[in-house]
Structure 1
Amino acid sequence: MFGYICAQPIARSKCQSIGVAKTVDELTLLQTFNNGLSDFHWQRPLWLLGIPAAIFAAWYLLRGQAQNNNWKQVISAELLPHLLQGSLSQQQKWPLGLLAVALILASLSMAGPSWEKLPQPIHKTESALIVLLDLSPSMMAEDVKPSRLVRARLKLMDLLKQRQEGLSALIAYAGEAYTVTPLTDDTDTIISLIPSLSPGVMPLGGSNTEMAVKQALTLFKDAGLMQGEILLVTDGVTEDAIDDIDNQLSSNFRLSILGVGSKDGAPIPIRNGGFAKDRSGSIVLAKLNRGELDDLAQRHGGRYRTLTSSDRDISALASQPELLSEQTRQLEREFDTWIDRGAWLCLLLIPFAALSFRRGWLLVLPLMLIEPQHSYALGWDDLWTTKDQQGEALLQNDQAKQAAETFQRQDWKAAAQYRAGDFKAAAEGFAADDSAQGHFNRGNALAKAGDLPAAIKAYQQALQKDPNFDDAEANKQVVEELLEQQEQQQQQNQDQNQDGDSDQQQDQQSGDSQSNSDQKNNQDSDSQQDSQQDSENNEPSNSDSSQEPDSPTDSEEQNDKDSEQSDSNTPAEDEQANNQSPQESGEEAQESAAEQAAQRMQESDLSEEEQQAMEQWLRKIPDDPSGLMRKKFEHQYRQRRQEYQQGTWQPPANDANNRW
């Protein structure tokens, strides 16, 4: 009895808990149903126009049958039951009704009913390709017209355009190797940087192929990749470099080589108008060692091809099986995707398909599969692609302004505005991205817009997010130098204006009797002042060009060599130091003068004639798109020398800077 009494409340509590659970389940189901109704939408709502079209077509056909098949108008009503078998009207009406229902179901299915959004991970192929581009002096040889380097750059751009998936990187090397772009899936960025690469942007001349291979392996390791492919674009590799490469590469990494040049070779042109010579005074002929390069590629599982005028070379290199073709990498970001439930409605069309099969209606289906012509004016692109996809297509077709108006994603819109030249709007768009890359992009846009102090602050914020952001540090130094030159120029202009005002006051006090002569003297002084100002504006370029000391990079390298060895520089290094450095300094001075002139045009109210004269002067300044790349490599060069003094880095002891 005691147990029975105790069992009563326990059973009641269980019943109560079951009732509560059932209530919770019902509430959860009801809440899910309500959420589904609130989120319900059609992904392709234009297909719903097929519903009224199907209803109208069925009504029109039924109406036509009623008029055309009215036998009562021809045959008397007494004879109809004997002449007609069954009910003709029923046999003709029900197929049209079923056809209308099938078309309605098909329209609902194609409209894409959706009420649930699920996160979808993004997978991309893990294949990685690192291109090593030779920028040694021998790449300027002209046995391949117009030159080896020009043909190699064009061929490399064609190869990257054909690469649709995977990661790609670019390393340029001469006396030392430098990373142009790390591993990325954005091949368009790599292609845009290739035209600015030349031996003139490298801080140290030579041919250090083994250092480039070592840096490529470091990029693979930093990306967490245990396999990858290396493509070497070169006109030759020395024997000691080949031995070093054999020791570095393992079977996990494949090396392919694209040879540039000819067997006979060609002399190497230098900047002063002659050709490179060896220590004995003989002209150096840069020949393509095709056999050694072919053996090197075969030993490491790759292919060798000599550069041709057709696409056979890059087609052969690109047709190799991917090392990681069956593996994919899940990206960190995910996209929420609406699940299309329209496929379930297609199951309801199966009975209609079975009924139509016996009457031969399925033979008409191929006619429905014929694709009509696209009508972009009616929004066909909006039906199949998003605004961001349309903007990407416009950007690839060099329609940056239209792409900026089409993009909905803010960072993509800002990138399109940057390419369109609307730097102020691009800076505002990049401001929404608080990452290091976002601040870096904003700094570039502000620098292009002429707001140098704000650009420096943006670069500083990027360095706070990522202290190892070398590109931000290099751009920050360039902008700081431009800002300093701009301030000096403004100070000089203010001093000249003050001197001109004082002279004008003295001239006004000389009396009314000499007003005409004073006016003439003032004009002479003004013209003399303008000519003096023009000479001062050109003074940095002339002074830099007149000086002929060793370049900073060569002098620092000489100090490092003095601590290690007592050998002197080769003739190639002496020519590079004596000829290349003054020209580069002159170009940098002209670039800074152009920036200052453009800033003055924006800030001051010049007359139309003065603006035209200023624009003509700006057109005379040569365009140097490789200046930023040169600054970047010089910054990395100085960093390595600082690390060498601290004992954390050792320069290569292979005497690579003495190679051509």
Structure 2
Amino acid sequence: MINFENPAVFAGLLGIPLFYWALQYFQNKQLSQIAIWGQHWEGGLQDPQNKSSKIFRWMASVFLTLLVIALANPRHGLESTSTTMAVKDIFIALDLSKSMDATDLPPSRLEVAKKRTIQFLDEMKGNRIALILFAGESYLAMPLTTDPMSAVSMVSSLNTGQMALQGTNIKEAANIALEANKRMGQGDAIFLLITDGEDHEGGALSALEKLADNGFDIFIAGIGTEQGGTIMGPEGVLTDEEGQVVRSQLNKHLILEMAEQSHGIVLDVNDTNWSRKVDSAIKNNQKSGTVERKYKSYKSYAHVPLLMAALVLCVGFYFSRIGFSKKMTLLLFVFTSVTSLMKAQDPKPFVEGNRLYQSEKYKEAQKKYEEGLKTKEDARAQYNLGNSQYKSGNLDEAVQNFEKAAKTLPNKDQQSKAWHNLGNAQYKKGRLGEAIEAYKEALRLNPGEKSSSINLAIAKQQQQKQQKQQQQQSEPKNQKDLNQGGAQGEKAEKNEPNKGKSEKPAPSKNKGNNKNESDMTNGKGKSNPESGWSEDKAMLDHIEREEQKVRGQYRRGDGKFSKIKKPW
């Protein structure tokens, strides 16, 4: 079925009858001027050029009609273009130990790691990605997939509280990658380790060396600073068993040692383009697999009405009364116009931009789209330009182009995609409110679209988290005053009985009377009617807290319990 790229230009057809009437008017006016000079035609004689003039007018009208059709760019059928890319299986091991909540990299190590990981995933499309999460234990959270959006959604919602057993077990994460690659991989792969370098369980060096021996390229991203930072928990700053504030530091020595042992590459946390080094390793590795990507574009037939228009013009010259020199001048003008028109219709810059984009050469693609848009406005090219700018990290420009494309794309499905990508750009800029509105607009145009629904939920969750943090930050002073007052009151209550030598003996000094007191309270334990305090309840709470400590100190492995060295 034939479709037109620029159907709006058909409005120009409305001017053709006006052109025909104007041409006829000027020809009649020319004849009337001749009559004034006495060279009129007598009686029943007809103007010998009247018939040819009418034919010329019709020819000119047909010429303009064909020119308008050419401008509309009729298209039919699709043509495929392919490009070959190097691909690999990439296993990302992300540290979710409690030390990743350290604040030496604001807002926290984990948030910085998540941001870098999401950017990396976004730039490594086309490769197969697997996600391994580890702390005191490890598991394959997502097997190898070519859908990066699934990984992005998962990484966005991660937190250290999701790991039941704390600690840092790099060895187990490496072993999981090795086993998963044997089961599902295609041979050589990439292992990206994102950690602060606290190897509590040991064995990391030998495990990474084993990965390298099995064809893995190792990349290690150290998250944190050598100065270190405190670890924030739900009850405040984390302390050890002795009550000392825990200060976690980046173990740079271990990270460098792991990289040296496995012939790996260390990635800088401040580098916003990890994909550049990884992509370079993929392309330079002769063992990398390849995949052929195909993309389709419409076949343009604008040249057909252009050639027909040129033919009509030549025939029209035969019936015209224009002199030879003027005919040649007009023919040259038309030829130049047709050539310019064909250049304007030539989608080569856009096609070249699409090819470069598919090859992940986003900056080069951006230049091609900009080049094409200088000569021709095109909503799809505007959308593609926004995508290439988004990939290149030019978020401000991407937002502008997504906004333009969302308003000018021809159908709702394309508009929905533009709003979705606008939401992604706003989310990356930290404008959660604008991102949420963009995702909502995408869903209004395409209800039930999965990616927009997931991203909307993630953005809302992040917005609620920010609002909660802001609320907590606005309350600390009042909370501090409240805590100080409560502590003083508690101290007064505890000290008051000591001054009066206490009306009743402490339980530890009155073992003989405990049973009688228990009998007097019908087995419910000694209680304070004013405060509602229960000795049995307090004891149960204490036992539960101790049990939680024991659970946190041990992890199960190989049928026996082994002690975790540190619970963070």
Select the residue among 334, 345, 366 that pairs with 2:304: 345
Show the counterpart of 2:33: 72
Show the counterpart of 1:255: 218
**Contact 2:88–2:289 (Cα < 8 Å) also in 1:** no
CA distance in 1, matches of 2:542, 2:155: 28
User: Alpha-carbon deviations, 1:157-193, whole Å to 9, x = none?
Assistant: 3333444543333221111222333333443443333
1:245, distance to aligned residue in structure 2 (A): 0.7
Select the residue among 55, 64, 69 that pairs with 1:107: 69
**Counterparts in 2 of 1:450-469, with a 5 A limit?**
none
Show the counterpart of 1:187: 148
CA distance in 2, matches of 1:298, 1:88: 93
Show the counterpart of 1:144: 105
CA distance in 2, matches of 1:570, 1:184: 33
CA distance in 2, matches of 1:264, 1:109: 65
1:246, distance to aligned residue in structure 2 (A): 1.0
Rate the CA distance shift 1:338–1:197 in 2: closer, same or farther, 3 A: closer
SS of the equivalent of 2:164 reads coil
1:139, distance to aligned residue in structure 2 (A): 2.0
For residue 280 of structure 2, what is the amino acid of its counterpart?
Q
Show the counterpart of 1:407: 446
SS of the equivalent of 2:280 reads coil
For residue 152 of structure 1, what is the amino acid of its counterpart?
A
User: Alpha-carbon deviations, 1:531-573, whole Å to 9, x = none?
Assistant: xxxx9xxxx9x99898335359939966657x547x6x35634
Rate the CA distance shift 1:389–1:241 in 2: closer, same or farther, 3 A: same
CA distance in 2, matches of 1:548, 1:338: 65
**Contact 1:43–1:113 (Cα < 8 Å) also in 2:** yes
CA distance in 2, matches of 1:213, 1:301: 15
Rate the CA distance shift 1:315–1:44 in 2: closer, same or farther, 3 A: closer
User: Alpha-carbon deviations, 1:234-274, whole Å to 9, x = none?
Assistant: 11164731222111234743222221122233455666656
CA distance in 2, matches of 1:171, 1:109: 54
SS of the equivalent of 2:152 reads helix
Show the counterpart of 1:287: 249
**Contact 2:220–2:266 (Cα < 8 Å) also in 1:** yes
Please tell me whether residue 169 in structure 1 is matched to residue 133 in structure 2.
Answer: no
Show the counterpart of 2:365: none
SS of the equivalent of 1:133 reads strand
**Contact 2:63–2:309 (Cα < 8 Å) also in 1:** no
For residue 255 of structure 2, what is the amino acid of its counterpart?
L
Rate the CA distance shift 1:271–1:415 in 2: closer, same or farther, 3 A: closer
CA distance in 1, matches of 2:84, 2:446: 24
- What is the CA RMSD across the aligned residues, in angstroms? 5.5
**Contact 1:62–1:96 (Cα < 8 Å) also in 2:** no
Rate the CA distance shift 1:248–1:75 in 2: closer, same or farther, 3 A: same
Q: 1 or 2, which has the higher strand percentage?
A: 2
Select the residue among 544, 551, 564 that pairs with 1:554: 551
Select the residue among 160, 167, 185 that pairs with 2:121: 160
1:305, distance to aligned residue in structure 2 (A): 2.7
Please tell me whether residue 388 in structure 1 is matched to residue 385 in structure 2.
Answer: no
Please tell me whether residue 199 in structure 1 is matched to residue 147 in structure 2.
Answer: no
Show the counterpart of 2:91: 130
For residue 136 of structure 2, what is the amino acid of its counterpart?
G
User: Alpha-carbon deviations, 1:617-651, whole Å to 9, x = none?
Assistant: xxxxxxxxxxxxxxxxxxxxxxxxxxxxxxxxxxx
1:345, distance to aligned residue in structure 2 (A): 2.8
1:202, distance to aligned residue in structure 2 (A): 0.5
Q: How many percent identity over aligned positions?
A: 20
**Contact 2:142–2:151 (Cα < 8 Å) also in 1:** yes
CA distance in 1, matches of 2:263, 2:64: 58
Show the counterpart of 1:265: 228
1:344, distance to aligned residue in structure 2 (A): 7.0
Please tell me whether residue 572 in structure 1 is matched to residue 535 in structure 2.
Answer: no
Q: Which runs of 5+ in 1 are unaligned?
A: 1-39, 81-85, 422-534, 574-659
CA distance in 2, matches of 1:559, 1:251: 28
CA distance in 1, matches of 2:445, 2:550: 46
CA distance in 1, matches of 2:191, 2:28: 77
Show the counterpart of 1:303: 265
CA distance in 2, matches of 1:223, 1:64: 79
For residue 416 of structure 2, what is the amino acid of its counterpart?
G
SS of the equivalent of 2:171 reads helix
**Contact 1:47–1:108 (Cα < 8 Å) also in 2:** no
SS of the equivalent of 1:254 reads strand
**Contact 1:230–1:253 (Cα < 8 Å) also in 2:** yes
CA distance in 1, matches of 2:307, 2:243: 88
1:343, distance to aligned residue in structure 2 (A): 6.0
**Contact 1:306–1:313 (Cα < 8 Å) also in 2:** no
1:212, distance to aligned residue in structure 2 (A): 1.7
Show the counterpart of 2:3: 42
Select the residue among 236, 242, 247 that pairs with 2:197: 236
CA distance in 2, matches of 1:244, 1:303: 16
Q: Which runs of 5+ in 2 are unaligned?
A: 42-47, 315-327, 345-374, 383-403, 424-435, 458-531
In the alignment of these two chains, the number of paired residues is: 396
Select the residue among 341, 359, 378 that pairs with 2:333: 359
Rate the CA distance shift 1:63–1:543 in 2: closer, same or farther, 3 A: farther
CA distance in 2, matches of 1:321, 1:63: 72
| TM-score calculated relative to the size of structure 2 | 0.53
**Contact 2:406–2:416 (Cα < 8 Å) also in 1:** no
**Contact 1:110–1:342 (Cα < 8 Å) also in 2:** no
CA distance in 2, matches of 1:321, 1:89: 76
Rate the CA distance shift 1:363–1:251 in 2: closer, same or farther, 3 A: farther
**Contact 2:87–2:127 (Cα < 8 Å) also in 1:** yes
SS of the equivalent of 1:213 reads helix
CA distance in 1, matches of 2:152, 2:564: 34
SS of the equivalent of 2:219 reads strand
1:220, distance to aligned residue in structure 2 (A): 4.0
For residue 405 of structure 1, what is the amino acid of its counterpart?
R
CA distance in 2, matches of 1:105, 1:407: 37
**Contact 2:91–2:192 (Cα < 8 Å) also in 1:** yes
User: Alpha-carbon deviations, 1:579-625, whole Å to 9, x = none?
Assistant: xxxxxxxxxxxxxxxxxxxxxxxxxxxxxxxxxxxxxxxxxxxxxxx
Rate the CA distance shift 1:251–1:559 in 2: closer, same or farther, 3 A: closer
**Contact 2:134–2:170 (Cα < 8 Å) also in 1:** yes
**Counterparts in 2 of 1:409-424, with a 5 A limit?**
412-413=448-449
**Contact 1:390–1:406 (Cα < 8 Å) also in 2:** yes
CA distance in 1, matches of 2:555, 2:181: 32
For residue 63 of structure 1, what is the amino acid of its counterpart?
Q
**Contact 2:69–2:305 (Cα < 8 Å) also in 1:** no
Rate the CA distance shift 1:50–1:153 in 2: closer, same or farther, 3 A: same
CA distance in 1, matches of 2:289, 2:31: 68
**Contact 1:54–1:100 (Cα < 8 Å) also in 2:** no
Show the counterpart of 1:450: none
CA distance in 2, matches of 1:362, 1:373: 23
